Structure 1
Amino acid sequence: MQSLKNDIRQKIMDAGRKEFSRKGFTKASMRSIATQVGVGVGNLYHYFPSKDSLFCAVLAPITSSFYSMFDRHHGKYADALDMIREEYLFSAVSEYMNLLRGNRTLMKILFFGHKGLH
């Protein structure tokens, strides 16, 4: 039973990612997402109590990656003067570019998600 619930949750998140990507946050519809998944809107709200909570869940992988990256870099280079060193700049930019390359759709939703991408 639990794996079925996890499967539905993942399907909702996948449909949400597509919906937010196509329409942006404002125009995205929980009803449309529920229809894509094949569940009732009421059931969708058992998994995600609001469109905002679904949006945050969809973006969680990229936002947590950013927080981890910032913690690593700022923990290692606590002094602002260290952060202008070439070693720090190369490391930070390389890691940021890897995040961009590996998460293009989520990055687009994060940065441009208010208006949709298509």
Structure 2
Amino acid sequence: MPPRKPTPAGRQWSSTEGVRAEFLDAARAVFARRGFTEASVTEVVERAGASVGSLYHHFGSKTDLFLALWRRHHEEQLRIARGGLDRARESGVTDPFDLFVAGARAYLEATWSRRDLVRIFQVGDTPPGFHEIQHRDGREWINRNFKLLGADDDPVHRVLIWLVTSFLGEARREISKARTAREATVDVEAMIETLKRMRPLLTGDLGLGLSYREVDEG
């Protein structure tokens, strides 16, 4: 029998990523239905059509699987928001607050199709230590908003950006509770209108002193 040809590294990497994606898709369905505590590795494996050994090879534990699903979700949300911002820039929008609103709209509009994930991470039970990770990633998001809005780094502006960013997180939680896609769309428009009414706070019209600086996005 002729020797087996080695698998090209790129193909092997693609296969590994494909297996991980299948496990994460299966975990998404199981965690949404059961929550973290009641979810079983066996059910995830059966849904993915794989083996327990393969799951532990790729993730190590149920907690690691949950955290990997969170990481994928978080990174996808950043890409969605950035996509909305980039499209606004391409259409000629330059005002930092308007760009922020464009990213926020894309972020909120994606809620309905991802409402199961929102519920998993914002409503359902989670593994020990998860909220610390979630808060750390939230701080990174706040820092991104600081950069976009060009806010001065002082206590008042830090609180303002934190409030606006927190508002988007809570808005998403409420939108995820909508009963229909139409209701979710109405909720998104209401949240965006509310966000726009925060402009005076962020632009200094109320005397809080926020003045936009030139922002280098690199």
The question of a shared fold, defined as TM-score above 0.5 by the shorter chain, is answered with yes
Closer, same or farther: CA 23–90 of 1 in aligned 2, 3 Å: closer
TM-superposed CA distance for 1:2, in Å, is: 1.9
Contact 1:13–1:58 (Cα < 8 Å) also in 2: yes
Of residues 125, 132, 155 in structure 2, which corresponds to 1:80? 155
CA 1:27 to 1:77, structure 2 compared with 1: closer, same or farther past 3 Å? farther
Structure 2 residue corresponding to 1:71, chosen from 143, 150, 168: 143
The equivalences for 1:86-105 within 5 A come to 88=161, 91-92=164-165, 95-96=168-169, 100=172, 104=176
**Once the 2 structures are TM-superposed, how far is the Cα of residue 83 of structure 1 from its aligned partner?**
3.9
Alignment: residue pair count: 100
1:5-50 C-alpha deviation (Å, 9 max, x unpaired): 1111000001111111100000111111111111110111001100
1:94-115 Cα deviation digits (max 9, x unpaired): 65468x28xx5xxxxxxxxxxx
Query: Which segments of 5 or more consecutive residues in structure 2 lack a partner in the other structure?
Result: 1-11, 75-133, 177-218
Is the counterpart of residue 31 in structure 1 residue 104 in structure 2? no
Answer yes or no: is the 8 Å Cα contact 2:142–2:162 preserved in 1: no
| TM-score, normalised relative to structure 2 | 0.39
Tell me how far apart the structure 2 counterparts of residues 44 and 16 of structure 1 sit (CA, whole Å).
11
How far has the Cα of 1:93 moved from its partner? 5.4
CA distance in 1, matches of 2:169, 2:144: 12
Give the superposed CA RMSD: 3.0
Shift of 1:79: 1.8
Please report the TM-score for the alignment, with normalisation by the length of structure 1: 0.66
- C-alpha spacing 1:12/1:68, structure 2 compared with 1 (3 Å): same
2:55 is the alignment partner of 1:55:
no
**Residues 67 and 17 (structure 1 numbering): CA distance in 2 closer, same or farther, change over 3 Å?**
farther
Moved more, 3-12 or 58-67: 58-67
Cα distance 1:91–1:11, how it changes in 2: closer, same or farther (>3 A)?
same
Distance 1:39 1:10 in 2: 12
Structure number with higher helix proportion: 1
Percent identity of equivalent pairs: 27
